[in-house]
């Protein structure tokens, strides 16, 4: 049995397709990532799996339970960490966990031991008796993860777990997520629009855009699928150069954004001098040139034709898409 299975899972809002016929199977003990921009449908997808939204069509099972017919069983077997903060700042960290343990029916005789376990797991045992309003953003996120684990869930949903945190705190959260996956032996489904987060954490990644899964594989296989290196150029007359250079035989994929051009090519180090010579002959000035290995951001660009943008939330993006449809 797969802890998470979906079959053509679809959600529409007044004609807008937020999630479109998504079918996937997530393995036991796997950290599985949904990578995509805000508005891709990631939150809508996991909201259906958590029974917070009813699908328009299709079906899904979580821990063997049908998300429509067996909602209570699904809810008892999962933990959730939402994008938006949901802690009580007037309580201590321990009191927040005690309240949640009671709501989820953790037996009284087990509560203290379990609370101590999850507090140690997320590195908050020494700060457990402080008011949450005095916690940093990273500490609050760790407490929310601890709260999601309090009732021994088999599946943990993390919706943008490091959103709004600074890079250093984000990396600390990654370490805690890896540790809890190993120690708690649970399946984790996380959503993110941070490429480095998906790369660092996930056993497999599904790239999601406009409600559809574009490609699914391990991070390494996804990057290798581009079959080349990334050659980056900043050029004064980018559009003119773009039209000419894209016809070169060695260029597998090319993308332009303003005067910045990225190309997927084999043996980029050898190809770079040829590009510079080509630009010189065509009287085009190159401001800078660099070569690097592909990232998951390049994979997203390859399969969707656009870059991941962070400017708008899912609701705003959906409104824009709805306006385009109307």
* 3-state SS string for 123-165: CCHHHCCCEHHHCCHHHHHHHHHHHHHCCCCCEEEEECCCCCC
231, pLDDT greater than 80: yes
- pTM for the predicted model, two decimal places: 0.85
**Which of 118-132, 189-203, 309-323 has the weakest average pLDDT?**
309-323
**Which of 73-82, 97-106, 242-251 has the weakest average pLDDT?**
242-251
Query: Quick check: helix, strand or coil at residue 86?
Result: coil
Q: Which structure tokens are listed for 289?
A: 């040139």
Mean pLDDT of 172-176: 88
Token pair 């409600």 is found at: 211
Mean pLDDT of 33-37: 95
Report which of 179, 39, 181 is spatially closest to residue 122, judged by C-alpha positions: 179
Backbone dihedral angles phi then psi of residue 201, each to the nearest 5 degrees: -105, -35
Structural domains in the chain, CATH included, are 4-218 (3.40.50.300), 227-293 (3.30.70.100)
pLDDT top residue among 283 and 325: 283
131, pLDDT greater than 90: yes
Reported confidence tier of residue 305, pLDDT bands at 50, 70, 90:
confident
324, pLDDT greater than 70: no
Distance CA 35, CA 33 (A): 6
Reported confidence tier of residue 196, pLDDT bands at 50, 70, 90:
very high
Distance CA 288, CA 243 (A): 19
- Burial letters for 282-297: b for 16+ Cβ neighbours within 10 Å, e otherwise? eebebeebeeeebbbb
pLDDT top residue among 309 and 186: 186
Distance CA 273, CA 35 (A): 34
Q: Which structure tokens are listed for 203?
A: 């056993």
Mean pLDDT of 293-298: 92
Query: How open is the CA angle 241-230-233, to the nearest 5 degrees?
Result: 35
Query: How open is the CA angle 309-23-69, to the nearest 5 degrees?
Result: 115
pLDDT digits (tens, 9 = 90+) for 60-70: 999 999 999 99
Report which of 139, 143, 150 is spatially closest to residue 102, judged by C-alpha positions: 150
* pLDDT > 70: percent of the chain: 94
Please state, as a whole number, how many other Cβ atoms lie within 10 Å of the Cβ of residue 89: 12
Report which of 220, 156, 161 is spatially closest to residue 182, judged by C-alpha positions: 156
Reported confidence tier of residue 238, pLDDT bands at 50, 70, 90:
low
Reported confidence tier of residue 143, pLDDT bands at 50, 70, 90:
very high
CB-based contact 51:4 (threshold 8 Å)? no
Average per-residue pLDDT for the chain: 89
Distance CA 89, CA 131 (A): 7
320, pLDDT greater than 50: no
Mean pLDDT of 283-288: 88
Most confident of 25-39, 167-181, 227-241: 25-39
321, pLDDT greater than 70: no
* pLDDT > 90: percent of the chain: 63
Give residue 326's pLDDT.
27
Give residue 314's pLDDT.
44
Report which of 147, 145, 152, 143 is spatially closest to residue 201, judged by C-alpha positions: 145
**Which of 64-78, 84-98, 158-172 has the weakest average pLDDT?**
158-172
255, pLDDT greater than 90: no
In 82-228, DSSP assigns E strands to 155-159, 187-192, 204-209, 212-217
Give residue 309's pLDDT.
62
CB-based contact 74:62 (threshold 8 Å)? yes
Mean pLDDT of 156-169: 90
Token pair 């045992």 is found at: 125
293, pLDDT greater than 60: yes
Mean pLDDT of 133-153: 93
Q: For the purposes of burial, counting CB atoms within 10 Å of the CB of 250, is it exposed (0-12), middle (13-18) or buried (19 or more)?
A: middle
């Amino acid at each position: 049995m797969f802890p998470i299975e979906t079959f053509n899972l679809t959600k529409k809002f007044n004609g807008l397709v937020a999630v479109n016929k998504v079918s996937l199977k997530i393995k036991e003990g796997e950290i599985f990532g949904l990578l995509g921009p805000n508005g891709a449908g990631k939150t809508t997808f996991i909201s259906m799996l958590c029974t917070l939204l009813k699908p328009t069509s299709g079906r899904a099972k979580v821990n063997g339970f049908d998300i429509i017919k067996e909602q209570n069983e699904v809810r008892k077997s999962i933990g959730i960490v939402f994008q938006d903060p949901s802690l009580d700042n007037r309580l201590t960290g321990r009191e927040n966990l005690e309240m949640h343990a009671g709501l989820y029916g953790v037996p009284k005789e087990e509560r203290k031991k379990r609370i101590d376990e999850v507090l140690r797991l997320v590195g908050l045992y020494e700060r457990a008796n402080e008011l949450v309003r005095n916690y940093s953003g990273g500490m609050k996120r760790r407490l929310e993860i601890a709260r999601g684990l309090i009732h021994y869930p088999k599946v943990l949903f993390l919706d943008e777990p490091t959103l709004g945190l600074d890079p250093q705190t984000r990396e600390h959260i990654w370490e805690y997520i890896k540790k809890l996956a190993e120690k708690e032996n649970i399946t984790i489904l996380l959503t993110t629009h941070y490429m480095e987060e998906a790369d660092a954490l996930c056993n497999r990644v599904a790239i999601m855009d406009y409600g559809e899964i574009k490609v699914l594989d391990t991070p390494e296989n996804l990057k290798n699928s581009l079959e080349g290196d990334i050659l980056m150029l900043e050029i004064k007359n980018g559009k003119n150069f773009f039209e000419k250079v894209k016809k070169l035989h060695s260029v597998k994929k090319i993308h332009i954004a303003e005067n910045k051009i990225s190309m997927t090519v084999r043996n980029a180090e050898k190809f770079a001098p040829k590009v510079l010579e080509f630009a010189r002959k065509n009287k085009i000035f190159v401001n800078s040139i660099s070569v690097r290995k592909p990232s998951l951001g390049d994979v997203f660009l390859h399969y969707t034709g656009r870059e991941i943008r962070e400017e708008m939330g899912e609701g705003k993006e959906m409104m824009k898409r709805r306006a385009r449809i109307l």
